[in-house]
Structure 1
Amino acid sequence: MTQAHSRPGVLSRRRAGVLLHPTCLPSEHGVLGRSGRRFLDFMAEAGLSVWQTLPLGPTHADLSPYQSLSAHAGNQDLIDLEELLYAGLVFENELVSNGDQLRRQTLFERACERFFSGTEDRFQGPTLAEFEAFRLANESWLGDYCLFCAIREEYPGCNWLSWPAELRDRDATVLDQFSSAHAASLRRLQFEQFLFDHQWQRLREYAHQRGIVLFGDIPIFVAHDSADVWASPDLFKLDQKGEPLFVAGVPPDYFSPDGQHWGNPVYDWGVMAEDNYQWWMSRLDTQRRCFDLIRIDHFRGLHAYWEIPAANPAPINGYWVPGPGAAFLDACFQRFPDLPLVAENLGIIGDEVEALRHRYRLPGMTVLQFGFDGSSANPHLSHNHRRRDLVYSGTHDNDTTLGWYQSLDDHTRAYVDAYFGHSSDPMPWPVIRTAFQSVSQLAMIPLQDFLGLDSRGRFNTPGTTVENWCWKLNWQQCPTGLAERIRDLTRLYGRLP
């Protein structure tokens, strides 16, 4: 029988936070060191106590964090090489730009050799014992991921379906032979994941020391070209060659009038249920190690998901298929009673989806930009907010609030102005202030909104594949006194730590 679950501790009091993916932080050598600490210092000065990121996994060439090479691994491009300098694993004349991938890989190879040789004097930094503990704690996924990446390096630009059949189909003898021949690459790949984890945990400790908690994001689906699907094809609806029989997407909605074809393979939930969803339990355990609060992206897919036949890939050809629902969530909370979940409940959400969310007392989301359809009952308007839910000015999939406001027709813009009281403050500050005023326990603002950026600051446009995920913060964009202005609002509306 389902038990009612209390709200995560993070949401036990009023807070304000910022939405910013780590790839947006400026840094020449990686962001999980000095650059990340500077951002956390800014947050602390501004009275912001929640940092929300997008998924942290290594990406494909399109840079989308929602199409990662792994549901567990960290993006090695975030590793700060300067931290390795302080640890004595690289030398100053070896440091390279974060954008030079080939030279970064070479530098990781050198650092790996020095780390395992034990001949270099290190002032501080990770130890061999910590590496071994990391390897053992993550053996359920680390070996498959590193092997997947090593094969990708051997066959660059190829989806795993294009690999030689023995590698594609995971012939045990051939994989053992490959592993022996590429032992150095595999060790370097394990070392990179260890460094990511070590630096992320240090950054998380730094955040906690400043009263800041970290808020992560789990995409409900994973990329087909990923270590997860290659290693466990039986958990997905694939044909005998490994091609998806069906892919995920959504029907037409606010974000895309034609619907969206995501291309992710869909789960065989029946097979997953046979071992009580252990693949998902491992995935959740990884995220619990990284974050204090976790959002399930596309929560409605647990109740029903939009399945598109691969043979007829237009989103309109899809249909709703029941998801695992309460059986899955029961398993999650039986395994992790204090699992700190937030449900992304945006888009086409029926009463049944909301009933599932409320059954587990999961916080949902409201987005102020979505409030102005002319109905005073719109749940995204601040007077309809609920205490347990989160309020956003916009999300990573929205235009910036200023860009959104500038794109409105005259009638809607007049409605927006009236709702926010014809504020003398320029956009987006009336929206930010309203989010902070909301009864919702947590108010989240994308950094681009705090900076007052127009559409040139947009991070992602759903349904498109170009010019996304590229926006970078320039600290010179921060107006003088910005942190103080934000702190005044956090104090005024009871959100100051």
Structure 2
Amino acid sequence: MRKRQAGILLPVFSLPGPYGMGSLGSFAYQFIDALAQANQSIWQILPLCPPGYGGSPYSSQSAQAGNPLFIDLDNLMKRGWIEASQLQGLDWEAQSPYIDYEAVSQSKHQALRYAYATFCTHVSRDSFEQFRASNPWVRDYALFLALSHEFKHKPWQEWPKELSHREPQALARVTADLREEIEFHEFCQWVFETQWNELHDYATGKGIKILGDIPIYVSLDSADTWANPQLFQLGSDFYPEKVAGVPPDGFSATGQIWGNPLYDWPAHQRSDFSWWKERIGRQLQRVDILRIDHFRGLESYFAIPADATSAVAGTWEPGPGIDFFTALEKQLGTLPLVLEDLGYLTPAVEDLRNATGQPGIQLIQFAFDSREPADYWPHEIPKNSVVYTGTHDNDTLQGWFASLAPEDQELARIYCGASHTAIEDMPQCFIARAMTSVADTCIIPAADYLGLDSSARINTPGQMQGNWGWRLSQSDWNAYPWDEIAQLTAISGRAPGTHHTQH
């Protein structure tokens, strides 16, 4: 029998803090403490990889790297690697309620260069060298960033031919020429990994599991496509003829063109999925449970002509199916996964999910929204699933309920027995429905416990700007309803150590 458990979804970047965005610093440790005290078992985060355009962690330049923007600078000051005076002249846009990625990125990298200078002259290299030796991917990633900087951030397809084609002599030459820049990026990855491991160990000690996230795709301009072009559907010029996306759905009437390169699945199968084994094995060293983004793309994926202006022109192509999971489990053992099975589902997708035995995702919002042709009634949620009020791609409960048609609002009120409940109090009703459902796991986005409106939305799919920037304010942090969360978790049989048998 699976244990009933509960958790909270809060991206690392949404934590408070003095440097413009959340980090692996003191607020992350305080959040873990609060989760443990509130009977929670899980902290769900978004992907830890470096963000792509607009701050998106779902189109990264590396499938393996950690986000250096998450590095805790106060920790580096305590180590004596940075002086407080060096940080005072940097622009963090710290008073803004949303993340200014350009300002934070420039300032964070300048601070890390100060730390690297100290490291080069005053710090033992043993741990750093061990990290480099045990993470061969980091050399390609660091070289990629160094070359990207050298060529003023042109995509790698437009670099000199001997470098885009990775001719060994040319790579040896630039590796020597750019040695210091390469080592700086390796240093950043080592610092991130060190701090993350310390935080993860702390969470484990508090009984909190980290639920991580693995984007199904990488960016076209990434270290992965440059180092392994044979694993992607790329032409002789290394550009794709078709790109990733999704057909029209509840989020967009014309679908979404993501633009990511598609995998050459036969090539992955010929290598027995070695790239994926390394990728997922690495992520499972970082986290306890792993959400597989866009799981349905492993059954079949949507391929859109690269020059299309709308996703309507796309077609479904076969994915690797159960062979993918069989190969991974053969090497990595039983996989602690959550399958993001939202979107356009078919019986074949559901059959694949069932064949893996892994839990899928259920959304409370979709049950009451006539814009969604889906069936997510709380009383019909399967036990082997993870129920959410909404995910990072949905509006907050408050914003969503306010946007519903009056007849949908009325239906939800009747279902929840909340006919006289004010709109601002409705999120509590939906949270209670999720927590008391039979789903083994319940995850609530942090903003929903506060009843925040659409200004706290993390991402709007299909919208290119204004995403990935929401942060908990200091006042929201101070007002967080931890006691009520602890009570609801205990009442619904999800507190650690409680086991309510399902009849």
Does the C-alpha gap of structure 1 residues 255 and 100 become closer, same or farther in structure 2, counting only changes over 3 Å? closer
> Is the 2:262–2:303 Cα contact (8 Å) retained in structure 1?
yes
What TM-score, normalized by structure 2, do the two folds share?
A: 0.91
* Contact 1:20-1:52 at 8 Å conserved across structures: yes
1:130 aligns with 2:120: no
Match of 2:14 among 24, 27, 31: 24
Assess, with a 3 A threshold, how the Cα gap between structure 1 residues 231 and 481 changes in structure 2: closer, same or farther: closer
Q: Give the superposition deviation at 1:42.
A: 2.4
Instruction: For residue 386 of structure 1, give the secondary structure of its aligned residue in structure 2.
Output: coil
Q: 1:128 Cα deviation (Å)?
A: 3.1
Aligned to 2:205: 209
CA-to-aligned-CA distance 1:123-148 (integer Å, 9 cap, x gap):
xxxx6332222212211x11110001
1:385 equivalent in structure 2: 381
CA RMSD across the alignment: 1.9
Q: Can you list the C-alpha shifts for 1:263-308, whole angstroms capped at 9, x where unaligned?
A: 0110111111111011111110111111100011111111101111
1:458 aligns with 2:457: yes
Deviation at 1:387, TM superposition (A): 1.2
CA contact under 8 A between 2:140 and 2:227: conserved in structure 1? yes
Q: 1:193 & 1:481 partners in 2: Cα distance?
A: 33
Assess if the C-alpha contact under 8 Å between 1:451 and 1:479 holds in 2: no
- In structure 2, relative to structure 1, the CA distance for the partners of 1:233 and 1:12 (3 Å cut) is same
Contact 2:364 2:430 in 1 (8 A): yes
User: Match of 1:467?
Assistant: 466
Matched residue, 1:6: none
User: Counterpart in 2 of 1:69?
Assistant: 61
Cα deviations by residue, 1:173-220 (Å, 9 ceiling, x for unpaired): 222111111111111110100010111111111111211110011111
SS in 1 for 2:55: coil
Given candidates 295, 319, 332, the residue that maps to 1:323 is 319
Q: CA deviation at 1:97?
A: 5.3
Per-residue displacement from partner, 1:399-456 (whole Å, max 9, x unpaired)?
A: 1011000001111100011111117471210011111101111101111101110111
Distance 1:485 1:394 in 2: 20
1:360 alignment partner, one of 342, 356, 361: 356
Partner of 1:3: none
- Between the aligned partners of 2:349 and 2:203, the Cα distance in structure 1 is 34
Give the equivalent residue in structure 2 for 1:340: 336
**What's the CA shift string for 1:230-279, capped at 9, x where partnerless?**
11111111111111111011111111111111101101111111110111
| Equivalent residues of 2:450, 2:480 under 8 A apart | no
Secondary structure (helix, strand or coil) at the match of 1:244 reads coil
**Alpha-carbon offset, residue 158 of structure 1:** 1.9
Partner residue, 2:288:
292
* From 108, 112, 136, the counterpart of 1:108: 112
Tell me, yes or no, if the aligned pair for 2:38 and 2:486 is still in contact at 8 Å: yes
| Runs of 5+ consecutive residues of structure 1 not aligned to the other structure | 1-10, 121-126
Deviation at 1:483, TM superposition (A): 0.5
Aligned equivalent of 2:76, options 77, 80, 84: 84
User: Which range moves more in the overlay, 308-317 or 76-85?
Assistant: 308-317
- CA offset at residue 100 of structure 1? 4.7
CA distance in 2, matches of 1:193, 1:427: 43
Counterpart CA distance in 2 for 1:233 and 1:69 is 14
1:224 aligns with 2:220: yes
For 2:355 and 2:65, locate their aligned partners in 1 and report how far apart those are by CA, in whole Å: 31
| TM-score normalised per structure 1 | 0.92
Query: Is 1:179 aligned to residue 175 of structure 2?
Result: yes
The whole-number CA distance in structure 1 between the counterparts of 2:374 and 2:172 is 58
Tell me, in whole angstroms, the C-alpha distance in 2 between the residues paired with 1:268 and 1:252.
24
Aligned runs of 1:27-38 on 2, under 5 Å?
27-29=17-19, 31-38=23-30
CA contact (8 A) 2:369 2:404 kept: no
How many positions carry a matched residue from both structures?
A: 478
Partners of 2:255 and 2:148 lie apart in 1 by 32
Are 1:188 and 2:184 matched, yes or no? yes
Which of 126, 138, 141 is the matching residue for 1:142? Answer: 138
Paired residue secondary structure (1:391)? strand
Match of 1:4 in 2: none
Deviations 1:46-72 (A, max 9, x none): 222211111111122411110111000
Structure 2 unaligned runs (5+)?
93-102, 497-503
Partner of residue 44, structure 1: 36
Once the two structures are TM-superposed, the CA of residue 171 in structure 1 deviates from its matched residue by 2.3
Does the 8 A contact of 2:86 with 2:111 survive in 1?
A: yes
CA displacement at 1:481 relative to structure 2: 6.3
Q: Which residue does the alignment assign to 1:488?
A: 487
Alpha-carbon shift at residue 156 of structure 1 (Å): 2.8
Is 2:267 aligned against 1:271? yes
Amino acid in the other structure paired with 1:73: A
Tell me the CA shift for residue 353 of structure 1.
0.9
Give the equivalent residue in structure 1 for 2:366. Answer: 370
- In structure 2, the partner of 1:248 is 244
Measured against aligned partners, the alpha-carbon deviations of 1:9-56 in whole angstroms (never above 9, x if no partner) come to xx9311111111111112224611212112212222322221111111
Select 1:401's aligned residue among 385, 397, 401: 397
| Identical counterparts, % of pairs | 40
SS of structure 2 residue aligned to 1:345: coil
* Residues 1:305 and 2:296 aligned together: no
Quote the residue 1:158 is aligned against: 154
Q: Distance in 1 between matches of 2:160 and 2:70?
A: 31
Q: 1-side partners of 2:369 and 2:186: how far apart?
A: 50
Deviation at 1:373, TM superposition (A): 5.2
CA contact (8 A) 1:379 1:385 kept: no
Contact kept in structure 1, 2:53 and 2:59, CA below 8 Å: no
Q: Say which of 43, 51, 63 aligns to 1:59.
A: 51
Q: Report SS of the residue matched to 1:243.
A: coil
1:88 Cα offset (Å): 2.1
State the distance in 2 between where 1:53 and 1:488 align. 23
Does the CA contact (< 8 Å) of 1:28 and 1:97 recur in 2?
no
8 Å contact from structure 1 (residues 378, 384) kept in 2:
no
